[in-house]
Amino acid sequence: MNQFPMKKIKSFGVLSLLITSCLVAQTKTSSKISTSNEVSYINTITASELKTHLSIVASDSMEGRDTGSEGQKKAARYLVEQYKKEGIPFPKGADSYYQKVPAAFMNQDSGENLPDSANIWAFIEGSEKPNEIVVVSAHYDHVGIKNGEVYNGADDDGSGTVSLLEIAQAFQKAKKEGHGPKRSILILHMTGEEHGLYGSSYYSENPLFPIANTVADVNIDMIGRRDEFHKKSNNYVYLIGSDYLSTDLYKICEDVNSKYIHLNLDYKFNDRNDPNRFYYRSDHYNFAKHGIPVVFLFNGVHADYHQATDEVDKIEFDALTKRAQLGFSIAWELANRDARIVVDKDGN
Ligand SMILES: [Zn+2]
């Protein structure tokens, strides 16, 4: 989660054009949830595996994963290793698991002096509509080392990073067993988020698959803790943006949650007038600004947000597991339903 609520908000004139073209392509959609295999794959996302991965990704040896740092590169290698182990390839049309994000791109407006960096991507090709892409994203950078203290970012966004590993593994298992997603899943670990959503901004301007073929982005940033509004129970998640561009997406989130996951979906921060402006503060925004429906899964902020105390031992793995399972279920439905979700709203 980016620290600066008002930073670099650009408006894009392409939005209305995209919506018009999407509306033309509109077809009748079914509200039925797709398949019955889903539950067995949801259950492959476990607290123990999330904990194993997070204990490595958010350890001191990753040096706080600052953009372009040696520590972040080490975290990247760990992620790539996991995909290789699972037999999950990098996307078709790419030549490695890395999308280079040049320093010049990140430093152009900010005057920062960041080195080259990279997004990490992995791909589960769809069986029926491989050219339609569902993105599942989370940023793997954090804020590095300050005054000799390592900022491990276990929640921000170690929690989303390891969720992506588990979500990808679940899709890959389904594919191996002949239940692979109909549409393709693009897993995107973004860089440069904390400095200004740079990795996602770069991807959205240099997409591997056409923006017009990108069905939705399910973005996960901070889902391992609880905030002050949920002291009594961690059985909740904030959903932000799900109804801004697509009524279908909003319904999918509601339906899969009530069918499989049973979290309390909290829309407090979905209010466009909320002063925190969370909608603009993580990577999904760089998809939404191009007219791609997004949903942002988020636990809210807490006393350890952007502090050296955002550590693995404070993560509530029961909550993290259910929220990661929700992210998977939403992506599953987006990828498997008969008709592509429709963009029926203007995002404003
Ligand atoms: Zn952050």
Q: Is the pLDDT of residue 33 over 90?
A: no
User: Nearest-5° angle of CA 196, CA 226, CA 237?
Assistant: 75
What is the CA(160)–ligand 1 centre distance, in A? Answer: 11
Residue 300 zone, left/alpha/beta (φ > 0; ψ -120 to 50; rest): left
The residue whose two tokens read 């995209």 is: 18
- Cα(127)–Cα(281) distance, integer angstroms: 34
What is the CA(195)–ligand 1 centre distance, in A? Answer: 9
Mean pLDDT in residue range 30-34? 48
What is the CA(29)–ligand 1 centre distance, in A? Answer: 37
Q: How confident is the model at residue 37 (pLDDT cuts 50, 70, 90)?
A: confident
What is the CA(179)–ligand 1 centre distance, in A? Answer: 35
DSSP state of 261: I
What is the CA(325)–ligand 1 centre distance, in A? Answer: 22
What is the CA(156)–ligand 1 centre distance, in A? Answer: 5
Give the least confident one: 25-29, 123-127, 324-328, 343-347. 25-29
Please report the pLDDT score of residue 38 as a whole number: 85
Closest Cα partner for 328 from 136, 152, 196, 157?
Answer: 136
Do residues 114 and 106 touch, judged by C-beta distance below 8 A? yes
What is the CA(3)–ligand 1 centre distance, in A? Answer: 6
Q: Is the pLDDT of residue 6 over 60?
A: no
Q: How confident is the model at residue 256 (pLDDT cuts 50, 70, 90)?
A: very high
Q: Which residues pair with 145 in a beta bridge?
A: 150
Please report the pLDDT score of residue 4 as a whole number: 74
Q: Is the pLDDT of residue 29 over 50?
A: no
- Cα(115)–Cα(71) distance, integer angstroms: 13
Question: Whats the size of the chain, residue-wise?
Answer: 348
What is the CA(305)–ligand 1 centre distance, in A? Answer: 7
What is the CA(112)–ligand 1 centre distance, in A? Answer: 17
Closest Cα partner for 1 from 297, 322, 316, 330?
Answer: 297
Average pLDDT of the chain to the nearest whole number: 92
Please report the pLDDT score of residue 336 as a whole number: 97
Residue type, 46: T
Please report the pLDDT score of residue 348 as a whole number: 75
What is the CA(285)–ligand 1 centre distance, in A? Answer: 15
What is the CA(142)–ligand 1 centre distance, in A? Answer: 6
Q: Is the pLDDT of residue 30 over 80?
A: no
Share of the chain above pLDDT 70, in %: 91
Q: How confident is the model at residue 110 (pLDDT cuts 50, 70, 90)?
A: confident
- Cα(209)–Cα(93) distance, integer angstroms: 9
Backbone angles phi, psi at 36, to 5 degrees: -100, -5
**What is the pTM for the complete model shown?**
0.92
What is the CA(17)–ligand 1 centre distance, in A? Answer: 32
Q: Is the pLDDT of residue 346 over 80?
A: yes
Do residues 330 and 253 touch, judged by C-beta distance below 8 A? yes
What is the CA(141)–ligand 1 centre distance, in A? Answer: 9
Give the pLDDT confidence of 154-171 residue by residue, as tens digits. Answer: 999 999 999 999 999 999
What is the CA(290)–ligand 1 centre distance, in A? Answer: 23
Distance of CA 278 to the CA centre of its chain: 14
What is the CA(126)–ligand 1 centre distance, in A? Answer: 32
What is the CA(159)–ligand 1 centre distance, in A? Answer: 12
Half-sphere exposure at residue 236, Cβ-oriented, CA atoms within 13 angstroms: 18
Q: Is the pLDDT of residue 224 over 80?
A: yes
Q: Is the pLDDT of residue 28 over 80?
A: no
What's the maximum distance between 2 C-alpha atoms anywhere in the chain? 57
Give the least confident one: 70-79, 148-157, 166-175, 271-280. 271-280
Which is it for the CA torsion 255, 257, 261, 264, positive or negative? negative
